[in-house]
């Protein structure tokens, strides 16, 4: 993708970035949001960038630093920047209509806050569909003291998805026809192959039952990504352009992955290298060596790789839809490249993976699952384990996870049930490939003395796919009518996420951390975005330590735009 | 035809009024979207060229919409049938809308109806449109339309459909008798070159039953017809 500045655009802005880019710890920054002309797939397109580029400049801060960021909006519509995962005063959070009025065309808004944390984060517009058109960038905060993660060299890798259509048009198309972009639906031929090609009567029966079950729910197991037609970018570059990063053999290289895509989860691997995950959503975790990991929309993962040889490695980020991939190269010398691996098979959601996803629907034909929606999955397994005396409780292995609605690998490996995908890849099941799961995430340093939650707030993730309406507790967000989630400063709240839909939802809470309850007790990982798989229930505890009105939403941009959004209103504790 | 002009005007006024009611509900809702699709085709029937159309569209939000439906037929240069409906449509269940409004037939003769019904997606992917009609003369009728889709490939889609019309009384002007009056069924095979442009071939079978069939026979018309239609689906 090449970028040219629009006529009359912001020379000064670009210049200032070039200067700031070299003065690493400057404490005043100028960012200008404006249209940029770019080329994707050989087509000239108008995106929206920051200081003339997509992604915007990488902001590099130091923990403890107080930064001042002047953001100028050169668009014809209101704009904003939100600092994703950063703890800050409510009025600096950058959500129009909630924490400030937005930045009017031609206006400059000055953000100012003090960094109280370190790690890999990002920033993006929170206005209309601007993030989908390119308004995002990396935000890296170096620790005030020695970094617990040792590395010789680092690279920031931002993944994104570019749609040639206007995102508003995509939303309209989905509203008129939910399968508008799905060209992987099951056909009559698939049906005959599954039913008449069955090797046994029971297999035939299962294939028939599967069609009946999905038909009864009026849901489509092939709907993985809602939207197709994306071109997948790595640091704004198409696969052919091959964004490249250097290393010296023998170095420890830290790769900071950020998923800034509108709708796309990526499965990431670097064939030939083991990736050691050291940081998730900005927080250090106990190192986990993996061959592959899935990064949900809005998450970040830092990995360490240690390439020993003088040869190039492909950084391969397959879109979960398998429609394409983002690709770059890690190389000792510019110009080298490694082969591009074939994409792994596209997953099809299984009825078992759907588990309790059909609450409130007519499930008369379902076997064994009828009682699922009301059941407390987590109480039976993972979610509450953090509260158990022995987090690695043995009984889990004996439980029938499949009947509980977890995905298939769960019957083989209890930890795989938190696998962020429903994929049943043979390689993973046979143990030849290790893939990161949420259960692997364990904070590097314990959060000592974190109290038990005072109460639980249930958030059913709901929606009507056929109409492309996405909701929380069956309510489409309406700023005037929706009763917000109320919390009191100082309390500790447990969020119970029950995903009743067939899509994954990366839920993002602004302003406060969510401690994912994954069975590690004091070392439960701290995240800003938690992806809840279809039919599953996850728990996260929040120490309510920031007053104000905070956004809380699904980070799939079109889900957010379709109603999967809430306000969390944190008030001063009421005297009793 | 002059006598029907007055009716045409009043029907349009009612349509405008209905639209305004719908529009006010829609305006209160928030984001507004719009959609329209039109199937239009041509066939040879008894030496005549027959052109039929079937279109629908809506404007509105997730919960409240203004729906417009139209269908009609033109044979040998004359407009034989032309129907227009303007409906307020409200989501009443995840897969169902309640719709109410007016229908006006321009041909075979100007006639206004009040209508109410349900439109949505039944389990196992059957698209259903069921509505009852009360004509300005007090005649009561109903129609039920069921469509299904079979994907031969991602773009080659077969769609069997059946629509029945029921009448509570004889309406000789329309050549229908009480009871099951007509069946309009067929199989449309379309190829979606894009989601917005799909040529199709439609094998259509239409017939009348009971008293309606008798009236057609008396008028020297066919009780049943089979046509092969070639057309295109356009989507906005």
Q: What is the pLDDT of residue A355?
A: 56
Chain B residues touching A478 at Cβ < 8 A: 30
Q: Is B137 on the interface with A (CB under 8 A)?
A: no
Backbone angles phi, psi at B91, to 5 degrees: -70, 125
Cα separation, B183 vs B207, whole angstroms? 5
Of A180, A186, A362, the CB nearest to B195: A180
Residue of B nearest to A215 (CA): B124
Which helix or strand (DSSP H or E) is residue A428 part of? Answer: helix A426-429
More confident residue, A218 or A573: A218
Chain A residues touching B158 at Cβ < 8 A: 188
Residue of B nearest to A182 (CA): B154
Nearest CA distance, A188 vs chain B (angstrom): 5
Q: Is A220 on the interface with B (CB under 8 A)?
A: no
Contacts of A120 (CB under 8 A, 6+ apart): A138, A140, A156, A256, A257, A258, A279, A282, A300, A302
Least confident of A16-20, A95-99, B77-81, B162-166: A16-20
Question: Among residues A481, A555, A484, A473, which one has the least CA distance to residue A514?
Answer: A555
Cβ atoms < 10 Å from Cβ of B113: 22
Inter-chain contact B33–A171, Cβ cutoff 8 Å?
Answer: yes
Q: Is the pLDDT of residue A396 over 80?
A: no
ipTM of the complex: 0.88
Nearest CA distance, B164 vs chain A (angstrom): 24
Residue of B nearest to A468 (CA): B62
Nearest CA distance, A91 vs chain B (angstrom): 26
pLDDT above 70 covers what percent of chain A?
81
Nearest CA distance, A201 vs chain B (angstrom): 23
Least confident of A249-253, A390-394, B34-38: A390-394
Task: Starting at the earlier edge strand, list the strands of the sheet with A293-295.
Answer: A243-246, A325-331, A313-319, A266-269, A293-295
Of B62, B91, B151, the CB nearest to A187: B151
Q: What is the pLDDT of residue A422?
A: 38
Inter-chain contact A187–B154, Cβ cutoff 8 Å?
Answer: yes
Of A175, A189, A218, the CB nearest to B121: A218
Helices (H), A140-183: 167-176
Question: Among residues B67, B110, B70, B87, which one has the least CA distance to residue B18?
Answer: B87
Q: What is the pLDDT of residue B114?
A: 96
Q: DSSP assignment of A222-276, as one string? A: T-SSS---EEEEETTB-TTT-EEEE--TT--EEEEEEE--SS--EEEE-TT--EE
Question: Among residues A107, A111, A109, which one has the least CA distance to residue A67?
Answer: A111
Q: Which two tokens stand for residue A243?
A: 């964004």
**Residues across chain A:** 576
Confidence grade of residue A563 (pLDDT, cut at 50, 70, 90):
very high
Cα B84 to chain centroid, rounded = 8
HEC sequence for chain B:
CCHHHHHHHHHHHHHHHHHHHHHHHHHCCCCCEEEEEEEEEEEEECCEEEEEEEEEEEEECCCEEEEEEEEEEEECCEEEEEEEEEEEEEEEECCEEEEEEEEEEEECCCEEEEEEEEEEEECCCEEEEEEEEEECCCCEEEEEEEECCEECCCCEEEEEEEEEEEECCCEHHHCECCEEEEEEEEEEEEECCECCEEEEEEEEEEEECHHHHHHHHHCCCCCEEEEEEEEEEEEC
More confident residue, B157 or B173: B157
Q: What angle do CA B86, B90, B95 make, to 5 degrees?
A: 115
Q: Is B154 on the interface with A (CB under 8 A)?
A: yes
Contacts of A124 (CB under 8 A, 6+ apart): A81, A82, A84, A131, A135, A136, A137, A260
Question: What spatial distance separates the first Cα and last Cα of chain A, rounded to whole Å?
Answer: 59
Bridge partners, residue A233, by sequence: A160
Inter-chain contact A172–B91, Cβ cutoff 8 Å?
Answer: no
For chain B, the average pLDDT equals 90
Question: Among residues A560, A478, A485, A459, which one has the least CA distance to residue A226?
Answer: A560
Alpha carbon distances (Å) from A249 to A246, A269, A287, B234: 10, 19, 21, 58
Q: What is the pLDDT of residue A411?
A: 28
Per-residue model confidence as pLDDT tens digits over A234-264: 999 999 999 999 999 999 999 999 999 999 9
Q: Which two tokens stand for residue A181?
A: 């972009």
Cα separation, A361 vs A215, whole angstroms? 12
**Quick one: A76 exposed, middle or buried, by C-beta within 10 A (0-12, 13-18, 19+)?**
exposed
pLDDT above 70 covers what percent of chain B?
87
Of A185, A212, A469, the CB nearest to B154: A185
Confidence grade of residue A187 (pLDDT, cut at 50, 70, 90):
very high
Residue of B nearest to A170 (CA): B33
Relative to beta strand A119-124, strand A136-142 is: antiparallel
Residue of A nearest to B194 (CA): A180
pTM here? 0.85
Per-residue model confidence as pLDDT tens digits over A114-165: 999 999 999 999 999 999 999 999 999 999 999 999 999 999 999 999 999 9
Q: What is the pLDDT of residue A219?
A: 85
Chain A residues touching B151 at Cβ < 8 A: 185-188
DSSP-derived letter for residue A100 is B
Inter-chain contact A186–B151, Cβ cutoff 8 Å?
Answer: yes
DSSP-derived letter for residue A182 is -
Residue of A nearest to B150 (CA): A188
Cα separation, A79 vs A69, whole angstroms? 15
Q: Is B197 on the interface with A (CB under 8 A)?
A: no
Nearest CA distance, B138 vs chain A (angstrom): 35
- A470 contacts A554 by C-beta, under 8 angstroms: yes
Nearest CA distance, A488 vs chain B (angstrom): 31
3-state secondary structure of A212: helix
Cα atoms found within 13 Å of the Cα of residue A144, Cβ hemisphere only:
8
Confidence grade of residue B53 (pLDDT, cut at 50, 70, 90):
very high
Task: Starting at the earlier edge strand, list the strands of the sheet with A565-571.
Answer: A485-488, A565-571, A548-554, A505-509, A529-532
Q: Which two tokens stand for residue B220?
A: 């020297």
Q: Is B95 on the interface with A (CB under 8 A)?
A: yes
Chain B residues touching A362 at Cβ < 8 A: 123
Inter-chain contact B91–A212, Cβ cutoff 8 Å?
Answer: no
Bridge partners, residue B103, by sequence: B85, B113
Q: What is the pLDDT of residue A10?
A: 37
3-state secondary structure of A171: helix
Nearest CA distance, B56 vs chain A (angstrom): 12
Residue of A nearest to B154 (CA): A183
Q: Is B124 on the interface with A (CB under 8 A)?
A: yes
């Amino acid at each position: 993708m090449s970028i040219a500045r629009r006529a009359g655009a912001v020379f000064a802005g670009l210049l200032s970035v070039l200067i700031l880019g070299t003065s690493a710890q400057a404490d005043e920054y100028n960012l200008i949001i404006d249209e940029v002309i770019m080329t994707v797939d050989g087509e000239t397109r108008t995106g929206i960038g920051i200081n003339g580029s997509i992604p915007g400049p990488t902001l590099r801060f130091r923990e403890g630093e107080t930064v001042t960021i002047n953001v100028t909006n050169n668009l014809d519509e209101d704009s904003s920047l939100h600092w994703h995962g950063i703890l800050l005063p409510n009025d600096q959070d950058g959500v129009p209509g909630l924490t400030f009025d937005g930045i009017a065309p031609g206006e400059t808004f000055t953000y100012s806050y003090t960094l109280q944390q370190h790690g890999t984060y990002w920033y993006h517009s929170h206005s209309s569909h601007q993030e989908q058109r390119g308004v995002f960038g990396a935000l890296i905060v170096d620790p005030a003291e020695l970094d617990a993660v040792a590395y010789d060299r680092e690279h920031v890798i931002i993944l994104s998805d570019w749609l040639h259509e206007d995102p508003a048009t995509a939303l309209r198309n989905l509203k008129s026809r939910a399968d508008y972009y799905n060209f992987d639906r099951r056909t009559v031929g698939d049906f005959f192959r599954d039913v008449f090609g069955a090797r046994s009567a029971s297999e035939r029966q299962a294939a028939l039952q599967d069609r009946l079950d999905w038909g009864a729910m009026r849901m489509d197991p092939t709907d993985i990504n809602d939207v197709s037609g994306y071109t997948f970018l790595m640091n704004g570059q198409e696969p052919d352009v091959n964004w490249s990063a250097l290393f010296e053999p023998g170095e420890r290289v830290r790769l900071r992955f950020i998923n800034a895509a509108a709708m796309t989860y990526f499965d990431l691997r670097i064939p030939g290298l083991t990736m050691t995950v050291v940081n998730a959503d900005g927080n250090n975790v106990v190192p986990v060596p993996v061959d592959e990991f899935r990064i949900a929309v809005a998450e970040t993962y830092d990995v360490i790789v240690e390439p020993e040889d003088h040869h190039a490695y492909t950084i391969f980020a397959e879109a979960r839809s398998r429609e394409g991939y983002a690709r770059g190269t890690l190389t000792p010398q510019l110009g080298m490249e490694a082969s591009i691996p074939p994409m792994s098979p596209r997953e099809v959601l299984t009825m078992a993976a759907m588990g309790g996803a059909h609450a409130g629907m007519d499930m008369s034909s379902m076997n064994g699952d009828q009682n699922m929606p009301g059941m407390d999955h987590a109480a039976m397994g993972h979610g509450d384990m953090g509260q158990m005396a022995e987090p690695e409780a043995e009984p889990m292995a004996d439980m029938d996870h499949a009947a509980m609605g977890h995905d298939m690998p769960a019957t083989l490996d209890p930890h795989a049930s938190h696998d962020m995908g429903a994929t049943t890849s043979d390689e993973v099941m046979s143990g030849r490939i290790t893939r990161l799961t949420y259960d692997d995430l364990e904070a590097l340093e314990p959060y000592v003395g974190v109290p038990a939650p005072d109460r639980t707030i249930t958030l059913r993730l709901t929606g009507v796919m056929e109409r492309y309406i996405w909701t929380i507790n069956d309510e489409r967000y309406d700023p005037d009518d929706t009763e917000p989630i109320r919390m009191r400063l100082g309390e500790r709240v447990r969020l119970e996420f029950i995903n009743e839909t067939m899509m994954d939802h990366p839920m993002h809470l602004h302003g406060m951390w969510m401690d994912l309850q994954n069975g590690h007790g004091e070392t439960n990982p701290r995240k800003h975005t938690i992806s809840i798989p279809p039919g599953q229930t996850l728990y996260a505890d929040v120490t309510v330590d920031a007053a104000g009105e905070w956004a809380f939403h699904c980070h799939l941009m079109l889900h957010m735009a379709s109603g999967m959004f809430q306000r969390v209103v944190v008030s001063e504790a009421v005297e009793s | 035809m002059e006598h029907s002009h007055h009716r045409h005007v009043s029907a349009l006024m009612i349509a405008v009024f209905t639209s305004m009611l719908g529009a006010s509900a829609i305006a209160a809702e928030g984001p507004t979207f719009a959609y329209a699709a039109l199937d239009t085709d041509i066939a040879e029937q008894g030496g005549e060229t027959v052109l039929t159309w079937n279109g629908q569209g809506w404007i509105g939000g997730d919960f409240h919409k203004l729906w417009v439906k139209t269908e009609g037929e033109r044979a040998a240069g004359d407009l034989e049938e032309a129907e227009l409906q303007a409906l307020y449509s409200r989501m009443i269940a995840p897969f169902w809308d309640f719709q109410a409004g007016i229908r006006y037939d321009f041909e075979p003769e100007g006639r206004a109806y009040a209508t109410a019904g349900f439109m949505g997606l039944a389990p196992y992917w059957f698209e259903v449109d069921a509505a009852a009609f009360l004509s300005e003369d007090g005649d009561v009728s109903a129609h039920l339309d069921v469509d299904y889709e079979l994907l031969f490939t991602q773009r080659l889609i077969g769609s069997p459909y059946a629509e029945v019309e029921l009448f509570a009384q004889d309406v000789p002007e329309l050549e229908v008798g009480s009871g099951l009056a007509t069946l309009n069924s067929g199989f449309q095979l379309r190829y979606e070159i894009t989601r917005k442009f799909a040529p199709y071939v439609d094998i259509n079978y239409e017939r009348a039953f009971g008293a309606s069939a008798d009236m057609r026979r008396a008028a020297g018309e066919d009780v049943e017809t089979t046509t092969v239609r070639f057309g295109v689906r356009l989507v906005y």
